[in-house]
A and B are shown apart, each in its own frame.
Chain A
Amino acid sequence: MYRDGEPQAFRQLVDLYRERMLQFYYRLCWDRQRSEDLTQDLFLKLMLGSKRYRPEGRMTTFIYRVATNLWIDHYRQQRPRPRFHSFDQVVHPNDDSAPRQYAGDTPTPDEQLSDGEERTAMRQALERLTEPHRLVFELAVYQERPYGEISDLLDIPVGTVKSRMHNAVHALKEMLGSTEQEQQNKRAGGAG
């Protein structure tokens, strides 16, 4: 519609996707500032890419493809150092447990206060997932994309999407279970 003479159509698209995309990037990088910048970049890319967009494809898929590619590019630039990891690996190993540190990544005292222990644990658990697993989890759970579409977006077989999703869920359960166990132990120790 934007291409066909409706300049307002792009503004409508921004209104429709701004919140979703902000959350998408936030849960991938945990930095509000950076996620807002990425969302802005995304819309600029979509605008520039509108000339190439083929109407036969689904608009949503096109947007998520651009969003995912943007994140992957960004992630590649941000990775602190080259490292080998297996696609079978679901979480970062302990010796590399701090996945990435951004300038604005440290939670402010306000954030720490508002984030309960539970939220912190969840955030840490998500952060510990490796990038491929986290991306699949984000797209499936938060963005509610079907496995088939995720497979198209990431250019991997549907079976791989499924197994990454299952592994991510198992890992999260396990990590949160162990965190709860630690907290219970702490409380028991404190009481004793």
Chain B
Amino acid sequence: MSDQPDANQQPESNVSGETNAVAWEPIDLLLNQGTPEEVTAMRNEISGNPSKALELADTIALIEQFRDLTVEASPEFAGKLQDVALHSDRFYRSHFQPQPPAWLMPMVMGLAAAATFMLLWGFDAAQMWRSEANLTSVANSEIRTKLNTISIDDARRNVVASETTVVDEDPMSPEQASWERAVTEILARLDQETTDNLRNAFRDGMTQKGDPLKQWLDPSNALVLLRLEHELRASAEVRIHALRSRGALAEVDNRVQELADGIADEMLRVVAGRTDATGSSRQPISNNDLSDISWGVRGLIASGSATYRTTALRNGGKWLANRLPQLTGERLVIALSGLVELAAISGQHFEAVAEHGQRLVDEVLLPSDENWRRRLPDLLSGYADAGNIGEAGRILARLPAFGIDPHRCKLVRQLLLGQLRDRRSSAQDRPEVLAAMLYGCGDLLDETTGELDRIGWQLLRWKPTRLAPDFATVQQMAWSRAPGSRGYTRLQRELRQLAILPMPHSLASRSAFLMCLATNFAGHAGSLLLDDE
């Protein structure tokens, strides 16, 4: 019977050590099986035997056909492997992670017990109620509550009252007193402004009411989302699924990964070239280097984690963190933009972000010899780059998760929005201003008066391809319009055309370009998890 081919086959050999007993066949040569001498012998025999040569050609055709039988992984596959990876991390911690020596724990416990005993020995419980620190914290919380409820005029009256009726029943901490003085100085300076935008912004910020838990919880959740989605983005299937589900071509991911590889290589070179033996640098930091590294870090994070780019990411983050103390104003914003994301996804430089994030807030809110007395703070000046202001708004929205007072972060964001509104009212409604408003302060825009919608539609008048090579603006534009919002589909259609643009020259522009291309899987926090569901 023709479909019983087994009947004609050679019987199976089962004797060990009979490798040479089974005659070779063309498939063996094709698969390069056997020792080099055997392969050479097979080749010689083929060259002298036309029927064997024909059989070999036949076999090659057959095997080539069979090699096409492959399957594409489903989108869920990435999730399954992610489970494995997380499981492996736990397994590693419980089985292979070096454990502290057995005597260490009892020793630590003993030391802790001794320290507690010593503390209790000299502890005066009543002193707790008299301590200045405690008075300060009570005053702080009281005043913060009050600040949340008072109007701006009340604030002024309170300040005057606090200056004239020295601490009666409500003692004020030095910090609080200086904050009150700051408010007075800021208000005095804002009175001199020609427009009301900053004054109104400050007033809104001072009178805002909000759920204190939510003010802290939202940024913390945003950080967790960043980390989770970064892990998900590691999978090519997830990225491709996200691209396809929003109508983009899967090939865009190839371009993103290619760009990311180039960025990682160049970042390593730049960082190595600008770092001295101690790992830090006292040389002046050029704006180009700062932008390149910070954008590079963000670009690599947006592209999805890949183990072979980890070094570039780590070195870039270290380079930025080492330079933070020397930076102020817009330059501080640029450096923090990369570090906040790095800290969110990996926990690296968390303390540095917290420390210098606080400095960013203080730079805007605390008057100095220059700030507020002689001029507006750098970030609120008319010279500040709109894109950096937008980025500052985005950073400040996340800083509460690093332990910084959410009320003050929001106050600064209101002021930044006021500055951008100021630009609009003076007919500077350029795309970078609109994009910065939506990207950095979209949640603060007034929905009831239709401001959010108006700015969104106005921004759509500019085509992303026409804005190139200003990819920083395109990135803010693309990342500010979340799935489901009005105009999202139209913007997606236009963003697809970016994929064919040539690669920009500078590292920062290339990273911004990468982030534009990666919008569908990196631009909108929470969208990947929704896809997963």
Partners in one complex: yes
Residues of B within 8 A of A156 (CB): 14
Q: Is the CB–CB distance between A175 and B62 below 8 Å?
A: no
Residues of B within 8 A of A163 (CB): 10-13, 22
B15 CB to closest chain A CB (Å) equals 6
Partner of A142, one of B6, B8, B67, B76: B67
Q: Is the CB–CB distance between B71 and A157 below 8 Å?
A: no
Residues of B within 8 A of A2 (CB): 88, 92, 96
Kindly state the separation between the CA atoms of A111 and B229 in the bound complex, as whole angstroms: 31
Partner of B21, one of A4, A32, A93, A159: A159
Q: Is the CB–CB distance between B307 and A8 below 8 Å?
A: yes
Q: Is the CB–CB distance between B5 and A171 below 8 Å?
A: yes
Q: Is the CB–CB distance between A165 and B9 below 8 Å?
A: no
Which residue of chain B lies nearest to A47 when distances are taken between CB atoms in the complex? B88
Chain A 159-184 residues near chain B, CB threshold 8 A: 159-160, 162-167, 169-176, 178
Q: How many residues of A contact B (CB 8 A)?
A: 67
Which residue of chain A lies nearest to B13 when distances are taken between CB atoms in the complex? A159
Q: Does B47 contact A (CB under 8 A)?
A: no
Q: Is the CB–CB distance between B5 and A47 below 8 Å?
A: no
Q: Is the CB–CB distance between A44 and B9 below 8 Å?
A: no
Q: Is the CB–CB distance between B58 and A159 below 8 Å?
A: no
The verdict on A93 contacting B12 (CB below 8 Å), with A18-B81, A40-B83 known, is no
Q: Which of A5, A43, A87 has the most CB of B within 10 A?
A: A43
Residues of A within 8 A of B63 (CB): 141
Q: Which of B59, B63, B81 has the most CB of A within 10 A?
A: B81
Partner of B59, one of A88, A140, A169: A169
> Which of B24-32, B412-420, B458-466 sits within the interface?
B24-32
Which residue of chain B lies nearest to A51 when distances are taken between CB atoms in the complex? B95
Q: Is the CB–CB distance between B6 and A36 below 8 Å?
A: no
The verdict on A169 contacting B84 (CB below 8 Å), with A3-B96, A36-B77 known, is no
Is chain A's interface secondary structure helix, strand, loop, or mixed overall?
Answer: helix
The verdict on A175 contacting B81 (CB below 8 Å), with A12-B307, A88-B12, A158-B19 known, is no
Q: Is the CB–CB distance between A93 and B4 below 8 Å?
A: yes
Kindly state the separation between the CA atoms of A90 and B503 in the bound complex, as whole angstroms: 55
Residues of B within 8 A of A47 (CB): 84, 87-88, 91
Residues of A within 8 A of B6 (CB): 88-91, 167, 171
Kindly state the separation between the CA atoms of A2 and B97 in the bound complex, as whole angstroms: 10
The verdict on A10 contacting B5 (CB below 8 Å), with A35-B71, A122-B65 known, is no
Residues of B within 8 A of A27 (CB): 69
Kindly state the separation between the CA atoms of A169 and B69 in the bound complex, as whole angstroms: 16
- Contact mask A67-105 → B, CB, 8 Å, 1/0? 000000000000000000001111101100000000000
Kindly state the separation between the CA atoms of A91 and B4 in the bound complex, as whole angstroms: 8
B8 CB to closest chain A CB (Å) equals 7
The verdict on A159 contacting B18 (CB below 8 Å), with A36-B73, A141-B67, A144-B31 known, is yes
B242 CB to closest chain A CB (Å) equals 19
B33 CB to closest chain A CB (Å) equals 5
Q: Does B122 contact A (CB under 8 A)?
A: no
Q: Is the CB–CB distance between B95 and A141 below 8 Å?
A: no
Residues of A within 8 A of B27 (CB): 165-166, 169
Residues of A within 8 A of B95 (CB): 51
B84 CB to closest chain A CB (Å) equals 5
B54 CB to closest chain A CB (Å) equals 12
Kindly state the separation between the CA atoms of A87 and B13 in the bound complex, as whole angstroms: 10
Residues of A within 8 A of B84 (CB): 14, 40, 43-44, 47
Residues of A within 8 A of B193 (CB): none
Q: Does A147 contact B (CB under 8 A)?
A: yes
Q: Does A126 contact B (CB under 8 A)?
A: yes
Kindly state the separation between the CA atoms of A146 and B84 in the bound complex, as whole angstroms: 29
Q: Does B70 contact A (CB under 8 A)?
A: yes
Residues of B within 8 A of A173 (CB): 58-59, 62
Kindly state the separation between the CA atoms of A176 and B85 in the bound complex, as whole angstroms: 42
Partner of B76, one of A11, A36, A90: A36
Q: Does A22 contact B (CB under 8 A)?
A: yes
Q: Does A189 contact B (CB under 8 A)?
A: no
Which residue of chain A lies nearest to B89 when distances are taken between CB atoms in the complex? A7
Q: Does B123 contact A (CB under 8 A)?
A: no
Q: Does A26 contact B (CB under 8 A)?
A: yes
Q: Does A186 contact B (CB under 8 A)?
A: no
Q: Does B448 contact A (CB under 8 A)?
A: no
Partner of B307, one of A15, A19, A91, A122: A15
13 A-B contact pairs sorted by A residue (CB < 8 Å): A5-B96, A27-B69, A36-B77, A40-B83, A44-B87, A91-B6, A122-B66, A140-B33, A157-B16, A163-B10, A164-B12, A172-B62, A178-B2
- Nearest first, the 3 closest Cβ-Cβ pairs linking A and B are A159-B18, A157-B16, A174-B5
Given contacts A14-B84, A40-B84, A157-B15, 9 further A-B contacts (CB under 8 A): A2-B92, A2-B96, A4-B96, A35-B71, A47-B84, A119-B69, A162-B28, A164-B12, A167-B9
